Every structure is written in C-alpha cells, then in structure tokens.
Amino acid sequence: MSWEDNVRRVTPYVPGEQPGDSERVIKLNTNEMPYPPSPKVDMALKAYDAAALRLYPAADVAPLRDALAARYGFSADEVFVGVGSDDVLSMAFLTFFNSDKPVIFPDITYSFYDVWADVYRIKYEIKPLDKDFRIVKSDYMCENGGIVIANPNAPTGISQAEDISFIEDIVSANPQSVVIVDEAYVDFGGSTALGLVKKYDNILVVRTFSKSRAFAGMRIGFAIGCPKMIKYLNDVKYSVNSYTMNRPAIDLGLASLSDDEYFEKTVNAVIRTREWTKTELRSRGFAVTDSKTNFVFASPSSISAKELFEKLRERGIYVRWWDKDRLRDWLRISVGTDEEMKVLIENIDTITASKG
Ligand SMILES: *Cc1c(COP(=O)(O)O)cnc(C)c1O
C-alpha cells in the first residue's frame, strides 16, 4: 500500500505551447489577440499603486461584477466572475453537474470539458458532431445530467446559431438540467444566448476577456445566469477560495470595459483579417470552415496537416494540430495581424511548392 494508491489521478489538459519571451516566433497557436489591450488598461496599469495590494480584494468582485451587469443589461446577482472562463467553467461543472446521469457534450469541442468531468468524477457521454462538424440537436434531447455547448465551437470555429432558436430548443427541452453555453469567441461574429437567460432558469452563459479583450495573461472570465444559479455558484466558490480575483485584475478589467470603441475596432480588425485568411487558404485548395472566431480551421490538400504543422514550426510559425480522430487533417490557426498572416501564407506557399 502506498500513498500513490489514493492519488486523485487525472490526465491533464494540454495547453498550446508558450515560447519564452526571447524566442521570436509568429504565435498563432492559442487564439490570443494580436493587438494589446486598450490604452486605458495600459494607463491604469502604469498608475497602479502597489500599496493597494496590502488589502484583500473584494470577495464578491463587486466593482467588476456590477460593471459587467450594466454592460450586458443584467443585475448584479445574475453575474459571476472568475479567474478566466476556465475557472468559471470548472466551478460550474463542480456546482451543477452532480447527477447519476451523464453530462453530454460533442466529440469535437473544447478539450477541457472531459478533463473537468474526469477530475470531479462526473459521468459524461460524448455526442459526435455530424460530418460538417455541426451539433445534432436531437442528441441533446435525451436524459442527461447537464449539457455543455461551446458556441461558436472550438476548434472548428463554427457557430451553431445563425438563429438562437437552436440553443433555445435544447435549453427548453432540458428543464431538469443546466445547459452551459461557452461563448469564449462570440464577440467575433457569433450570436449570443444571453437573451435566453431572462427566459430560462437552466442556462448559464460563460464569457472570457482572454480572446476579444486581449486579456489572456490577466485571467478574467464571467458567467451570466439566473440569480438562483449564480448563488449556487458563489456558494461553491466561497467553499474553495473566496478571493479568486486579485485587485489588479478587477481594476484593469474595469479599465478594459470602459473602452468599447477600442474593443470594437480591434475585434473588427481581427474579423477582417480572418476573412482575408480564409479566402487565401481556399484559393490554395484548403478546406476551410466558416469560422466566426479569432482563428481559422483549415485542412490542406497538397500536404498533410501534420507535415505542414511541423514545417511551419521549423520556420518559427506556431499553429495548432491534434493527433486525434477527425482532427488529424486539420490545423487551427489563430488570426494574427495582417502582416503575420501574410508571412504565414508566404511560408505555406514555399513549403507546398517544395513538395511538388
Ligand atoms: C480559450 C477558451 C476558454 C478559456 O479561456 P480563459 O482564458 O480561461 O478565459 C474557454 N472555452 C473555450 C472554448 C476557449 O477557447
């Protein structure tokens, strides 16, 4: 008998590679924003008084929570804030998925969902996307202990809801379980399910500052749901760690929220660059999904995805490739600046030319 027999073992989530600051690479592998946060964030950071760090932060994250509530048209008791949406999602799994019935989510989606289910010992069942990487709605109309949908989905980039009734049908068919809608990428052209929160008490919409607000390094995420749901989430949060959000995160998050103009300008720049990249890749014979996110999901025709991934890496361009069924032929390429994407396309041309 060893203490190791009692370890809570889990196979961890594998994040994209973060090169050291000194390495000069074009980093298109973790869906970070290519532009910095708002200049207002820069100003707030430079003016930051270290003396404030002596004090514990607001346990209820009130300043940021209230600003988010105002920004999205909700009341403070409908908003929960966490350390990135990973923290929010993890807390939501722990709080709401406590049934003998399985939680359901697609085979191809954010690869953290099964990891949280495993670490918390939550039963789950995988529902395959169809051949076009779309959710099959009827798969979510069965008995379940919860539902998780990323919309737009990752790594496909596909938005499931030109018309939000797609999500509404799933939420209304499952009043006995919580439906989590992960909207990490919604600001880049998806349609939001936030409107359903007013109508249904079993939907939790999760958002992040990491992508559209260029805050991946700051760690801010939030969830919007009915007051009862937010109270249950807070009960669990206060039972794990009362002070999740540090003072600078709260203050800089407020500064970010105060600059809608910059937010829209940078998000629109990414959308334009994404559409340009899709066109360039399609004209080179790639299959490209209709991504509504800050990445493109593309499958090359004249070279394997794996080889292209490796060759790009040798040239200092990092993209993401998974050695997994149904994903092996595809690359997920984060949208960088126009210049970075031009360099990407030039390198793809050089690599594929030397093939044939
Ligand atoms: C990036 C991402 C997250 C996590 O983002 P945080 O940095 O933890 O806020 C959650 N869900 C999806 C689908 C993502 O792509």
Each residue's pLDDT tens digit, 76-97: 999 999 999 999 999 999 999 9
Do 125 and 189 share a domain, yes or no?
yes
Query: Residue 47 contacts by C-beta under 8 Å, 6 or more apart in sequence?
Result: none
The Cα–Cα gap between 187 and 87 comes to 20
Pocket test for ligand 1, best of 89, 208, 212, 291 (most atoms within 8 A of CB): 208
Query: Residue 149 contacts by C-beta under 8 Å, 6 or more apart in sequence?
Result: 105, 106, 109, 135, 140, 160, 167, 170, 179, 180, 181, 182
Span from the CA of 295 to the centroid of ligand 1 (angstroms): 13
Query: 154 CB under 6 A from ligand 1?
Result: yes
The Cα–Cα gap between 238 and 220 comes to 17
Residue 113: count other Cβ atoms within 10 Å of its Cβ. Answer: 23
pTM for the structure as a whole: 0.96
The Cα–Cα gap between 240 and 37 comes to 30
Query: Residue 199 contacts by C-beta under 8 Å, 6 or more apart in sequence?
Result: 168
- Alpha helices of the chain — where are they, by DSSP H? 39-46, 62-72, 84-96, 113-119, 165-173, 194-197, 227-240, 247-257, 260-283, 305-314, 338-353
pLDDT given at position 306: 98
Query: Residue 80 contacts by C-beta under 8 Å, 6 or more apart in sequence?
Result: 65, 88, 91, 222, 223, 224, 225, 230, 233, 234, 237
Do 74 and 159 share a domain, yes or no?
yes
Span from the CA of 284 to the centroid of ligand 1 (angstroms): 30
Q: Which of the four pLDDT bands, split at 50, 70 and 90, describes residue 163?
A: confident
Whether residue 306 contacts residue 323, with contact meaning beta carbons closer than 8 Å, is answered with yes
Span from the CA of 54 to the centroid of ligand 1 (angstroms): 30
Query: Residue 29 contacts by C-beta under 8 Å, 6 or more apart in sequence?
Result: 16, 17, 318, 319, 320, 332, 334
Do 145 and 169 share a domain, yes or no?
yes
Do 308 and 189 share a domain, yes or no?
no
Query: 90 CB under 6 A from ligand 1?
Result: no
Last residue of a domain, one of 201, 224, 257: 257
Do 178 and 327 share a domain, yes or no?
no
Span from the CA of 180 to the centroid of ligand 1 (angstroms): 13
The Cα–Cα gap between 253 and 240 comes to 23
Q: Which residue has the tokens 């820069």?
A: 42
Do 55 and 28 share a domain, yes or no?
no
Residue 55: count other Cβ atoms within 10 Å of its Cβ. Answer: 8
Last residue of a domain, one of 231, 257, 283: 257
| CATH number where 159 lies | 3.40.640.10
Cα 325 vs. chain centroid, distance in angstroms? 21
Span from the CA of 184 to the centroid of ligand 1 (angstroms): 6
Query: 184 CB under 6 A from ligand 1?
Result: yes
pLDDT surpasses 90 at 20:
no
pLDDT given at position 349: 97
Q: Which atom of ligand 1 is nearest to the CA of 89?
A: 10
The Cα–Cα gap between 177 and 148 comes to 11
Do 61 and 200 share a domain, yes or no?
yes
Query: 216 CB under 6 A from ligand 1?
Result: yes
Last residue of a domain, one of 212, 236, 257: 257
Query: 117 CB under 6 A from ligand 1?
Result: no
Do 231 and 301 share a domain, yes or no?
no
Q: Which of the four pLDDT bands, split at 50, 70 and 90, describes residue 356?
A: low
pLDDT given at position 22: 66
Domain limits for position 171: 39-257
Query: 186 CB under 6 A from ligand 1?
Result: no
Question: What separation, in Å, do the N-terminal and C-terminal C-alpha atoms of the chain show?
Answer: 59
The Cα–Cα gap between 200 and 188 comes to 25
Q: What is the pLDDT of residues 298-322, one digit of tens each?
A: 999 999 999 999 999 999 999 999 9
Query: 182 CB under 6 A from ligand 1?
Result: yes
Mean pLDDT score, 270-277: 98
Do 229 and 110 share a domain, yes or no?
yes
The total number of structural domains in the chain stands at 2
pLDDT given at position 152: 97
Q: What is the pLDDT of residues 107-153, one digit of tens each?
A: 999 999 999 999 999 999 999 999 999 999 999 999 999 999 999 99
Beta bridge partners of 317: 26
Do 18 and 138 share a domain, yes or no?
no
DSSP 15-76: PPP---TTS--EE-SS---SSPPPHHHHHHHHT--GGGGGS---TT-HHHHHHHHHHHT--G
- Identify the burial level of 40 via C-beta atoms within 10 angstroms of its C-beta, where 0-12 means exposed, 13-18 middle and 19 or more buried: middle
Span from the CA of 167 to the centroid of ligand 1 (angstroms): 20
Span from the CA of 338 to the centroid of ligand 1 (angstroms): 24
Do 14 and 145 share a domain, yes or no?
no
| CATH number where 275 lies | 3.90.1150.10
Q: In what order do the strands lie in the sheet with 331-334?
A: 287-288, 295-299, 331-334
Cα 105 vs. chain centroid, distance in angstroms? 15
Average pLDDT, the chain: 96
Whether residue 89 contacts residue 115, with contact meaning beta carbons closer than 8 Å, is answered with no
pLDDT surpasses 80 at 252:
yes
Do 216 and 250 share a domain, yes or no?
yes
Q: What is the pLDDT of residues 168-226, one digit of tens each?
A: 999 999 999 999 999 999 999 999 999 999 999 999 999 999 999 999 999 999 999 99
